[in-house]
C-alpha cells in the first residue's frame, strides 16, 4: 500500500464524498441485475404457489407457475435461476434413485424453461439431499456418509441434468473427488459446454435451516453434515478445497454461506483467477426479511448494501432469494 496522501487540511477525504455525482464518479463497485442468480423452489402439481413459512415472501411453484415467474424474472434482466425441488416423501429412498430419474421435477422444469426461455440460464444442484429418506447429501450406511458410493449416484444425476439442458451444474454435496468424476463423465458423453459452478467453500452451517424446510428434508435429517461440509473455523482448508475443485475441472466456485464468510470471498478472488460467487443462504434471507418486516431495516437500502458488500469482497455475483425483488428495484431506479 502506498501512503501518499497529504495530511489534513491538504487532504480532506470528504471532498470526494461531498455529493452524489462525485461519489458516483469515484465509486469502485456497483450492483446490477447481472450480479444475480435467483434460487427458486419447485413443487409437483399444477397451478400451485405455496408460501414457505420459514422463508417469508418465498414460494414453491408448480412448473406452470415456475415458467410464469421465470419469464417475468427474465424480463427484469435476471440471467440465471437455480432450481430446487420439494420431493414428496414417497419418492425419497435410501438409494436416492429419484436423483437420476430423467423425469424428476427439476429435470422436467429445466426442459420446459430451456424450451420456452432459451436465453435464461438454468442451474441445478448436484447432491442427494432432496431425494434421500435419510436427509443427507450422500448415501448413508450405519450412520456413515459413504463417499465413493455416493459419487456413482452423483455421476448419474449430473448426466441426466445435463441431458435436460441444465447450463450450470452446482455440486453442493461436498464428497471428495466429485468434480473430477462429474467432469470426466460429461466429457465422455459429449457435454463439453456444461458449466460446473462448484460449491467449493461450503461450510457446515446453522444458516441452512429454512432451506431444509423449503425442500422438505429437515424431517429426514438425523445428525449434522460435519463429516463432509467444511468446519467454519477453517480458512486454509477452504482454500485447499477451491484449488482441488479447480484442478478437477470446475469453471467457477462458490462460497456459502455468504455474508459471514466475506473473508473467504476476498481471498479466493485474489488467489484464483476464476469467477467466484457467494450464496446468501436461507438463514441470511430469513434474518434480513424479519428485520425488514419489523422495521429495523429499510428494504431496498439493506438489500443493495448486502449485495454491494459481496461485490466489494470481489465476487462476480450472488445467489440470493432476494434476486427478484432486487431486480425489480434496480429497474424502477434506472
Which residues in this chain contact ligand PBG in the complex, by CB under 6 A?
125, 127, 129, 137, 172-173, 208, 211-212, 225, 281-282
**Does residue 318 contact residue 310 with C-beta atoms inside 8 Å?**
yes
Q: Percent helix, strand, coil in the chain (nearest 5)?
A: 45, 20, 40
Torsions phi, psi of 132, nearest 5?
A: -100, 120
Tell me if residue 202 is catalytic: yes
- Nearest approach in angstroms of CB 14 to ligand PBG is 39
Select which of 79, 225, 256, 311 is catalytic.
Answer: 256
Distance CA 227, CA 297 (A): 37
What number of CA atoms fall less than 13 Å from residue 205's CA on the CB side?
23
Q: Is the dihedral of CA 115, 117, 123, 125 positive or negative?
A: negative
- Nearest approach in angstroms of CB 127 to ligand PBG is 3
Select which of 92, 202, 225, 311 is catalytic.
Answer: 202
What three-state secondary structure class fits 86?
coil
Cα angle 176-182-187, degrees, rounded to a multiple of 5: 145
- Nearest approach in angstroms of CB 211 to ligand PBG is 3
Distance CA 212, CA 217 (A): 5
- Nearest approach in angstroms of CB 85 to ligand PBG is 11
Residue number, 98 or 173, with CB nearest to ligand PBG:
173
Comparing CA positions, the residue from 101, 64, 99 lying closest to residue 84 is 99
**Does residue 267 contact residue 238 with C-beta atoms inside 8 Å?**
no
- Nearest approach in angstroms of CB 109 to ligand PBG is 16
Tell me if residue 311 is catalytic: no
Active site residues per annotation:
202, 256
Amino acid at each position: 500500500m502506498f501512503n501518499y496522501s497529504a495530511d489534513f487540511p491538504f487532504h480532506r477525504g470528504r471532498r470526494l464524498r461531498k455529493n452524489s455525482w462525485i461519489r458516483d464518479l469515484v465509486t469502485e463497485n456497483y450492483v446490477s441485475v447481472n450480479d444475480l442468480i435467483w434460487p427458486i423452489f419447485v413443487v409437483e402439481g399444477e397451478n400451485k404457489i405455496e408460501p414457505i413459512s420459514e422463508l417469508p415472501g418465498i414460494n414453491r411453484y408448480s412448473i406452470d407457475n415456475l415458467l410464469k415467474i421465470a419469464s417475468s424474472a427474465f424480463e427484469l434482466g435476471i440471467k440465471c435461476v437455480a432450481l430446487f425441488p420439494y420431493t414428496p416423501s414417497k419418492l425419497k429412498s435410501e438409494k436416492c434413485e429419484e436423483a437420476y430419474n430423467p423425469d424428476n421435477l427439476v429435470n422436467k422444469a429445466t426442459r420446459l424453461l430451456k424450451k420456452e426461455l432459451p436465453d435464461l440460464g438454468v442451474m441445478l444442484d448436484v447432491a442427494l439431499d432432496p431425494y434421500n429418506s435419510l436427509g443427507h447429501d450422500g448415501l448413508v450406511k450405519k450412520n456413515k456418509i459413504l463417499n465413493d458410493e455416493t459419487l456413482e449416484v452423483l455421476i448419474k444425476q449430473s448426466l441426466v441434468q445435463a441431458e435436460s439442458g441444465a447450463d450450470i451444474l452446482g455440486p453442493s454435496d461436498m464428497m471428495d473427488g466429485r468434480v473430477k468424476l462429474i467432469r470426466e463423465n460429461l466429457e465422455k458423453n459429449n457435454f463439453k459446454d456444461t458449466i460446473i459452478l462448484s460449491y467449493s467453500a461450503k461450510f457446515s452451517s446453522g444458516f441452512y435451516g429454512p432451506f431444509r424446510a423449503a425442500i422438505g428434508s429437515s424431517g429426514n435429517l438425523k445428525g449434522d453434515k460435519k463429516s463432509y461440509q467444511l468446519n467454519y473455523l477453517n480458512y486454509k482448508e477452504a482454500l485447499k478445497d477451491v484449488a482441488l475443485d479447480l484442478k478437477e475441472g470446475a469453471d467457477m466456485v462458490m462460497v456459502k454461506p455468504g455474508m459471514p464468510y466475506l473473508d473467504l470471498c476476498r481471498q479466493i478472488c485474489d488467489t484464483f483467477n476464476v469467477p467466484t460467487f457467494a450464496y446468501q443462504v436461507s438463514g441470511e434471507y430469513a434474518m434480513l426479511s424479519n428485520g425488514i418486516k419489523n422495521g429495523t431495516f429499510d428494504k431496498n437500502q439493506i438489500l443493495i448494501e448486502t449485495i454491494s458488500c459481496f461485490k466489494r469482497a470481489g465476487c462476480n455475483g450472488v445467489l440470493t432469494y432476494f434476486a427478484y425483488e432486487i431486480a425489480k428495484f434496480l429497474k424502477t431506479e434506472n
